[in-house]
Copies of this chain bind each other. A is one copy, B any other.
Amino acid sequence: MKKKKDIRREEIIKEAALLFKKKGVGGTSMRDLAEQVGMDAATMYHYISSKDEILKTICFDIANTYVTQLAEIEQANLTLTQKLKALVKLHIHLMTTMGAEVSVANNDWKYLSPESLQEFKNLRKQYENKLAAFIETGKQAGELREVNTSVALFTLLSAVRWVELWWRQDRGISIEELENSILTILFQGLEKNGNMES
């Protein structure tokens, strides 16, 4: 069971992510946040010490989720293609369930304090390198096409970035349809008989 204090802290961070996404980290004050969560500032400081701490918590929660899940997927008994698909699904999943946090981690990491910034960049690099290694191995194993590895890496990561901006429950597209359409495009291609031409 989570402690009451931890739950309250998480609620504050959740609201902070929404405000950061809407008004930017620079445009959000601790006073705005206190107002949003309906506390006076003094009470809020009982749970969280600064905007820096909030930003750090959001960015590293997301980064650690990616790194942890990647490690699990790496160990799983799956083909390289299945592993890559699982990672793309993970990105879509985080964007549909924690859109504001993902947006902050994607766009506002540059405002982290210097040592956090370096640590965050290292985690991201580590994640990208592992993903690149999946693609490289998949090519060597004949599972994946002979495309440039860096281009494939960034195309996969970038191709799902719009989801966080666009997806809402009321768009009339289920998460399943969203996932299936994206995975189909990226792994089978939009063109119906595209494989025959090659």
Q: Which residues of A contact B (CB under 8 A)?
A: 81, 84, 135, 142-145, 147-148, 150-152, 154-163, 166, 171, 173, 177-178, 180-182, 184-198
Question: Looking across the interface, which residue of chain B has its beta carbon closest to that of A153?
Answer: B162
Total copies of this chain within the assembly: 2
**Given A155-B162, A160-B158, A178-B151: A186 and B189 within 8 A (CB)?**
yes
Cα distance A39–B110 in the bound complex, in angstroms: 32
Report yes or no: A148 in contact with B189, Cβ–Cβ below 8 A: no
Question: Looking across the interface, which residue of chain B has its beta carbon closest to that of A178?
Answer: B151
Report yes or no: B187 in contact with A145, Cβ–Cβ below 8 A: no
Report yes or no: B185 in contact with A152, Cβ–Cβ below 8 A: yes
Closest beta carbon of chain B to A92's beta carbon, Å: 10
Question: Looking across the interface, which residue of chain B has its beta carbon closest to that of A180?
Answer: B147
Cα distance A160–B185 in the bound complex, in angstroms: 14
**Given A173-B151, A195-B195: A190 and B158 within 8 A (CB)?**
no
